[in-house]
């Protein structure tokens, strides 16, 4: 490959892909294009540790020295504006063009915008390190923070804001927090933890009007209540960045549509991470799009292998976690694939829910507890899910049965 | 000469498993391999300082519970992204059913 590989999007996924290409021995040109001014970095800490530390530090996944040593060309603060598929070239915002043999799109996702009138300077989103730096000074005693959306970003940020002494109100339109992908029993534990820490959570509350004068913002709720805050962070989900792909005529289906090998409708263009939707073999080819750190990492590495000809399918079980206060939630698989639930109590309020399909197959597991109390069992559950195991529900419910033994069975 | 520190009973660690051991302000992880040998490493992952004792032991590998960073606990060798720094290991001996660590 004389023109080499171009990667658009320099986040976790793109960064891992670039490094993986060199690990695999590829010696052609590798160019990583990112619109942020930073090295590829880890986003998960932005709503957690980076937010509560006195001086938020960027957690880069590589360094300029490593990129130079491995001959990975990193172009920062530049946007890809068009793909010329016929010419095999990407046009950049600085006017230059990058030729490619294979192109990888790791364009990620962006916060879903709240489309209402009245938003101003005090209504912000959290996605990038610079977003985190802008939010951090507002999280202090005497300040009030409104969080629109009771999803992971909003709740992790609520926990960080409380830790730093700010007053916090969470406004959620749904009847409960974490409606998407988290079972009610677990969401309830998280809800209670936030209330115990002094967070005001308002569920089932629509927003009727927003007034943001640049100094403070007021949300008038559908019920008539006014919530006034020094800063509002909107966390109502994320949307895949598909503009470049769509304009190039690639197939879009809840993200850039790729096959199991992460190839788009153009055989020389791949997509990976938050921006793509892909068929998940363990659920009969159900097309999903995942916004998760490990998925970004794994798909980045897989796209690298496949661009070099590996023809390997993505088979991983979705997995993610979230930390709030001393609680950690871990989920493997997609719980909405389950029809029945088996609960395994580990003591001290720590438990795991196993989600079983009609035929008894384990399809997901969700757990919550202090620290990483459920991490090991969720990891074992993930392996059971990958094996299409049909474990005995009584064994799953009994803490006297080691999950590792079920895996060996 | 570094002295041997008594850490726990050999039976406290299940086969192919790990426990946490704190001593003098430091934290360690003690492993029992599938073939009943004992090993010890620093207790925190070199990536994000997560306690490895909450992680999963499979054969000779310990996997971090948060980010799936993997190490060979016998040698401390890091086994790929996101971990790139090896884990420090410590000599272990078993005497009369007790585990001792030699902490450098």
B85 against B82, higher pLDDT: B85
Chain B residues close to A380, C-beta within 8 Å? 56
For residue B21, is pLDDT > 70?
yes
Closest CB from B54, B81, B82 relative to A376? B54
Nearest CA in chain B to A321: B66
pLDDT of the residue at B59: 93
Q: pLDDT above 70 covers what percent of chain A?
A: 100
Q: pLDDT above 90 covers what percent of chain A?
A: 94
Range list for CATH 3.50.50.60 in chain A: 5-110+238-307, 113-234
- CATH homologous superfamily of A5-110+238-307 equals FAD/NAD(P)-binding domain (3.50.50.60)
pLDDT of the residue at A31: 98
| Model confidence pLDDT, tens digit, residues A363-386 | 999 999 999 999 999 999 999 999
How confident is the model over A314-340, as a mean pLDDT? 94
pLDDT of the residue at A246: 98
Containing domain of residue B75, as a range?
4-102
Chain A residues close to B68, C-beta within 8 Å? 294
| Model confidence pLDDT, tens digit, residues A64-87 | 999 999 999 999 999 999 999 999
Q: Which of B56, B68, B78 to mutate to test the interface with A (most CBs of A within 10 A)?
A: B56
What is the distance between the alpha carbons of residues A264 and A306, in angstroms, rounded to a whole number? 12
| Predicted confidence band of residue A43 (pLDDT cuts 50, 70, 90) | very high
pLDDT of the residue at A1: 64
* Residue linked to tokens 């960073």: B69
| Model confidence pLDDT, tens digit, residues A88-119 | 999 999 999 999 999 999 999 999 999 999 99
pLDDT of the residue at A140: 96
- Whole-Å CA distances, A334 to A93, A203, A261, B45: 39, 24, 21, 28
What is the distance between the alpha carbons of residues A209 and A219, in angstroms, rounded to a whole number? 6
How confident is the model over A158-184, as a mean pLDDT? 96
For residue B81, is pLDDT > 80?
no
| Predicted confidence band of residue B1 (pLDDT cuts 50, 70, 90) | low
Is domain A113-234 given the CATH code 3.50.50.60 in the classification?
yes
For residue A214, is pLDDT > 80?
yes
CB-CB under 8 Å, A379 with B56? yes
Chain B residues close to A294, C-beta within 8 Å? 67-68
Provide the shortest C-alpha distance from residue A380 to chain B (in Å): 8
CATH number at residue B81: 2.102.10.10
Q: Which CATH architecture has domain A326-408?
A: 2-Layer Sandwich (3.30)
Range list for CATH 3.30.390.30 in chain A: 326-408
Rounded to 5°, the CA angle A351-A357-A360 comes to 85
For residue A179, is pLDDT > 70?
yes
CB-CB under 8 Å, A297 with B81? yes
How confident is the model over B27-55, as a mean pLDDT? 94
For residue A262, is pLDDT > 70?
yes
For residue A240, is pLDDT > 70?
yes
Chain B residues close to A373, C-beta within 8 Å? 54
How confident is the model over B51-74, as a mean pLDDT? 93
Is ipTM over 0.95?
no
How confident is the model over A308-321, as a mean pLDDT? 94
| Predicted confidence band of residue A50 (pLDDT cuts 50, 70, 90) | confident
How confident is the model over A158-164, as a mean pLDDT? 96
What is the distance between the alpha carbons of residues B14 and B97, in angstroms, rounded to a whole number? 13
What is the distance between the alpha carbons of residues A175 and A196, in angstroms, rounded to a whole number? 19
Q: Which of A322, A372, A381, A405 to mutate to test the interface with B (most CBs of B within 10 A)?
A: A372
Mean predicted lDDT score pLDDT of chain A:
96
Chain A residues close to B55, C-beta within 8 Å? 372, 375-376, 379
How many domains are there within chain B? 1
């Amino acid at each position: 490959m004389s023109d080499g590989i171009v990667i658009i999007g320099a986040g976790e996924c793109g960064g891992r892909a670039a490094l993986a290409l060199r690990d695999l021995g590829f010696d052609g040109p590798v160019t990583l294009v990112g619109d942020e001014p930073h090295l590829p970095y880890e986003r998960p800490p932005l709503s957690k540790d980076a937010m509560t530390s006195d001086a938020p530090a960027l957690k880069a996944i590589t360094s300029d020295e490593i990129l130079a040593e491995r001959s990975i060309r990193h172009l920062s603060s530049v946007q890809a504006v068009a793909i010329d598929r016929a010419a095999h070239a990407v046009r950049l915002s600085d006017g230059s063009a990058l030729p490619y043999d294979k192109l990888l799109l790791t364009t990620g996702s962006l916060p879903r915008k709240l489309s209402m009138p009245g938003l101003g300077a005090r209504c912000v989103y959290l996605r990038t390190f610079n977003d985190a730096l802008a939010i951090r000074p507002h999280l202090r005693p005497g300040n009030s923070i409104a969080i629109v959306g009771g999803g992971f970003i909003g709740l992790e940020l609520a926990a960080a804001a409380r830790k730093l002494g700010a007053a916090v109100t969470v406004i959620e339109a749904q009847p409960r927090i974490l409606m998407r992908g988290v079972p009610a029993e677990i969401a309830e534990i998280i809800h209670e933890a936030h209330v115990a820490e002094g967070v005001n959570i308002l569920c089932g509350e629509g927003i009727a009007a927003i007034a943001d004068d640049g100094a403070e913002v007021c949300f008038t709720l559908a019920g008539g209540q006014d919530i006034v805050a020094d800063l509002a962070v909107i966390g109502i989900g994320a949307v895949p960045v598909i503009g470049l792909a769509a304009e190039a005529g690639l197939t879009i289906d809840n993200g850039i549509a790729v096959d199991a090998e992460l190839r788009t409708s153009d055989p020389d263009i791949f997509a990976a991470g938050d921006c793509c939707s892909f068929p998940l073999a363990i659920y009969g080819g159900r097309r999903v799009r995942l916004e998760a750190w490990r998925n970004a990492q794994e798909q980045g590495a897989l796209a690298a292998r496949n661009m070099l000809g590996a023809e390997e399918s993505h088979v991983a079980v979705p997995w993610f976690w979230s930390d709030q206060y001393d609680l950690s939630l871990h989920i493997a698989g997609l719980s909405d694939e389950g029809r029945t639930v088996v609960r395994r109590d580990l003591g001290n309020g720590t438990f795991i829910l196993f989600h079983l399909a009609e035929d008894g197959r384990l399809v997901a597991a969700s757990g919550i507890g202090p620290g990483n109390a459920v991490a090991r069992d969720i990891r074992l559950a993930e392996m059971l899910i990958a094996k299409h195991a049909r474990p005995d529900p009584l064994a799953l419910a009994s803490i006297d049965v080691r999950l590792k033994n079920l895996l060996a069975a | 000469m570094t002295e041997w520190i008594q850490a726990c009973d050999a039976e406290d660690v299940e086969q192919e498993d790990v426990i946490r051991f704190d001593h003098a302000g430091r934290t360690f992880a003690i492993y029992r391999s599938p073939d009943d040998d004992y090993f010890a490493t620093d207790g925190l992952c070199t990536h994000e300082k997560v306690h490895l004792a909450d992680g999963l032991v499979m054969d000779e590998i310990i996997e971090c519970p948060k980010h799936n960073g993997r190490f060979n606990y016998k040698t401390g060798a890091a086994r790929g992204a996101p971990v790139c720094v090896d884990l420090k290991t410590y000599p272990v001996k078993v005497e009369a059913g007790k585990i001792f660590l030699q902490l450098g």
